[in-house]
Amino acid sequence: MNFSKIISTTSSKKIINNAFPLTVNAITHNISKQFSISSISSNSFSNEKLSSELKKTKNIKTIKANYNAKSSPQYIQIKNESDIEFYKGLAGKTGGEIIIEMLQRLGVDTVFGYPGGAALPITDSLTKYKNMRYIVPRHEQGAGHMAEGYAKSTGKVGVVIVTSGPGATNIITPLADALNDGIPIIAFSAQVPTFSIGTDSFQEADIVGISRSCTKWNSIVKDIRELPRRIEEAFKIATTGRPGPVLLDIPKDISSGILKKEITDYYGLNFPPVEPYLFSSNPEAELKKCIENAATMINNAERPVIIAGAGILNHPEGPKYLKLLSRKANIPVATSFQGLGCFNENDPMALHMIGMHGSVYGNLAIQAADVVIVLGSRMDERATANTDLYCLGARKAEKRGYGGIIQFEIQPKNINKKVQVTEAVEGDVTENIKKLLPLIQSHPHKQWNNQIQEWKKKYAFTYNRSSPDDKTIKPQHVIEELNRLTERIKKDIIITTGVGQHQMWTAQFYRWKYPKSIVSSGALGTMGFGVPAALGVKLGNPEKMVIDIDGDSSFSMTGQEMITAKQYGIPIKVIIMNNASQGMVRQMQEKYYNERYNQTLMTNPNFKELCEAMDAETIHTSNKATLTKDLKKFLNWDHPTKSIVLIVDVDQSEIVYPIVNGSEGLHEMDVGDLYKLNEPNYEEKYF
């Protein structure tokens, strides 16, 4: 991608948004780092008391982490270091300049945001930093989703800068989305001056209060001397443990004020540590014991299954060690929706996605297994259905004293939150798999794996295909053809999606082979995620082909960001699966509300003319006979700055199968008339 095209040619020469291309020398300081939580006493401190205690000590030893501008995994390599050098050279700068300077020192090269009066001291400072990209969307929500796509696909932190009031409230959805899916983004929200806070000033909103429930941490900065430290804290918190969003609220008198003196005192983080086995007197021994217990359960298992989630993808070696564990113990691997790509789905041991719309064979295997090993997955209700009926085979084995559920999880609060487990292993999932592997014995599990292969042949993902003379395009067929045509180039493709039927069909009929090859909204289910996320992904991965697979309703929410793609010359590819309805809600109305389609059948714009107005190349197809040809043209489009949109009119009546009702167990699937679930004595045999 030619980043020299990022600047609109119509911009005034006085508005310098940043020069390209970026180089390795973009960061001139050799001190690109970030904070980790300080090593302090495990006594219970309030923030105020802790801060007071820390200020009594000048030479505090802290944990620092390397964080640079190069594409790097989300996992942070920790090292011990203590310094004050990181704050040097900030005296004489405004708060806005300090923010941008600190971002540059922390390795940030891309910022998403929208200007506004209260944010001007920050956004104006961007004109002084030539190596910082500043991408302005058409709506602040778009900026948030761009930051998510950028962060999730690169492992770097996504940064958003918005103005006060509505500018800040417009990023609440991306913050909630990032918190639910564990994506590290940092939002700087401008605020009215400190002396105006609480007076119902113009464009004032209590964004700290509003965002408290959808961030890992948030804070308002009321002293410019605190600003550098708060920024480093934000980066550390966003990337430590389970990643997530952080918000810093910056009043205008802070961002426009000037730091008069160099910062000479370093007080470390103002938060107690959150470490695995924090309340254990001997954490290492406790961890070792838990891993040994897990190994014993796995070695004694007759029907083991692995469920791999996003936690595997948060470590650069996660997929490698997942494969080693599967190979050594001959254990089949299922994935959560957010874990797609962590295990090659063309592998015979792959069970593909499980859950509400997961594979029949995967769901049957989860329920029948005597040991279920959960690696970095929260086990939410879309993955488990009725938790009282979840992993019934493992529950039976647990009662017999040899099996059960093992959960490897980095965030202690996610253990036993929804599903009571037999053994829990706290900490980084991949690091703990490394410790587990030497204890694992090889076992063929021949009978169990033969049964799984039989289920895979019998219950493969399928749909009712149209007759040869029927021109109607089935939405599943679109994904099947895309999968077939991209089979040899998947390593160079990242796919984003909106939310709805098209999202589930993409998960089911596209075979995921590579880590971080899908970026989609999971737990929050945010319609409109696809287009802006694709822009963020492309900016972070300019060498990749980025395809957004969208529904007509999802695209209608944020499709205006195609003009952002035009302005900055960001070439993405979009497939709009147009069934003129809110498909997932419509299918619920059909199945559970006696076909009362109340306000789910959509009146759409002419997508072809709309996208052409935003200077995108377009293809419109409504005939099955031309679909393959149009998909090839779409995939072969190779313009350096211009996007392409393929609009496909698809069958509105299609339903996503399988379906597992939330009150039922994973084995109690509705598969329509696709095939007959015929497993004699299944429950008697396994439960």
48-89 pLDDT per residue, tens: 443 443 344 333 232 232 323 333 333 333 233 346 788 899
Looking at the domain assignment, is residue 683 inside a domain?
Answer: no
Looking at the domain assignment, is residue 664 inside a domain?
Answer: no
Looking at the domain assignment, is residue 665 inside a domain?
Answer: no
Q: Examine the domain organization and report whether 363 and 397 are in the same domain.
A: yes
177, containing H or E segment: helix 172-181
The per-residue pLDDT for 303 is: 98
Does residue 21 have a cis peptide bond before it, meaning omega lies within 30 degrees of 0? yes
Q: Examine the domain organization and report whether 497 and 409 are in the same domain.
A: no
Looking at the domain assignment, is residue 18 inside a domain?
Answer: yes
The per-residue pLDDT for 28 is: 32
The per-residue pLDDT for 86 is: 86
The per-residue pLDDT for 281 is: 82
Looking at the domain assignment, is residue 675 inside a domain?
Answer: no
Q: Which residue in 421, 549, 565, 439 sits closest to 496, CA to CA?
A: 549
Domains in the chain, number = 3
Q: Examine the domain organization and report whether 299 and 364 are in the same domain.
A: yes
**Using an 8 Å Cβ cutoff, are 479 and 549 in contact?**
yes
φ, ψ of residue 559 in degrees (nearest 5): -60, -20
φ, ψ of residue 161 in degrees (nearest 5): -125, 120
275, containing H or E segment: none
Rounded-to-integer distance, Cα 131 and Cα 143, Å: 19
Looking at the domain assignment, is residue 674 inside a domain?
Answer: no
Rounded-to-integer distance, Cα 648 and Cα 627, Å: 8
**Using an 8 Å Cβ cutoff, are 208 and 186 in contact?**
no
Range of the domain at 179: 3-256
Rounded-to-integer distance, Cα 574 and Cα 440, Å: 45
Joined tokens for residue 272: 């107690």
Q: Which residue in 310, 326, 296 sits closest to 414, CA to CA?
A: 310
Q: Examine the domain organization and report whether 405 and 532 are in the same domain.
A: no
> How big is the CA angle at 678 (ends 355 and 661), to the nearest 5 degrees?
30
The per-residue pLDDT for 452 is: 98
Q: Examine the domain organization and report whether 571 and 641 are in the same domain.
A: yes
Rounded-to-integer distance, Cα 450 and Cα 484, Å: 27
The per-residue pLDDT for 275 is: 63
> How big is the CA angle at 424 (ends 423 and 425), to the nearest 5 degrees?
125
Strand order in the sheet with 423-426: 350-353, 333-335, 304-308, 371-375, 404-409, 423-426
Q: Examine the domain organization and report whether 447 and 480 are in the same domain.
A: no
Q: Give the CATH number of the domain where residue 421 resides.
A: 3.40.50.1220
Q: Examine the domain organization and report whether 137 and 248 are in the same domain.
A: yes
The per-residue pLDDT for 544 is: 98
Rounded-to-integer distance, Cα 560 and Cα 301, Å: 53
Q: Examine the domain organization and report whether 56 and 200 are in the same domain.
A: yes
The per-residue pLDDT for 53 is: 39
Residues involved in catalysis = 140, 202-203, 252, 584
Q: Which residue in 129, 72, 121, 81 sits closest to 102, CA to CA?
A: 129
The ranges of the chain with pLDDT < 50 are: 1-82, 272
Give the amino acid at 618.
Answer: T
φ, ψ of residue 165 in degrees (nearest 5): 60, -120
Looking at the domain assignment, is residue 113 inside a domain?
Answer: yes
φ, ψ of residue 107 in degrees (nearest 5): 90, 10
The alpha carbon dihedral of 571, 572, 575, 581 has a sign of: negative
The residues, ordered by sequence, that sit 6+ positions from 285 with a Cβ below 8 Å of its Cβ are: none
Q: Which residue in 235, 184, 233 sits closest to 50, CA to CA?
A: 233
Q: Examine the domain organization and report whether 243 and 346 are in the same domain.
A: no
**Using an 8 Å Cβ cutoff, are 144 and 134 in contact?**
no
Looking at the domain assignment, is residue 220 inside a domain?
Answer: yes
Rounded-to-integer distance, Cα 73 and Cα 256, Å: 34
Q: Give the CATH number of the domain where residue 636 resides.
A: 3.40.50.970
Residue percentage of the chain with pLDDT more than 70 = 86
Q: Examine the domain organization and report whether 541 and 575 are in the same domain.
A: yes
Q: Examine the domain organization and report whether 436 and 523 are in the same domain.
A: no
Rounded-to-integer distance, Cα 618 and Cα 200, Å: 47
**Using an 8 Å Cβ cutoff, are 132 and 18 in contact?**
yes
Q: Examine the domain organization and report whether 57 and 161 are in the same domain.
A: yes
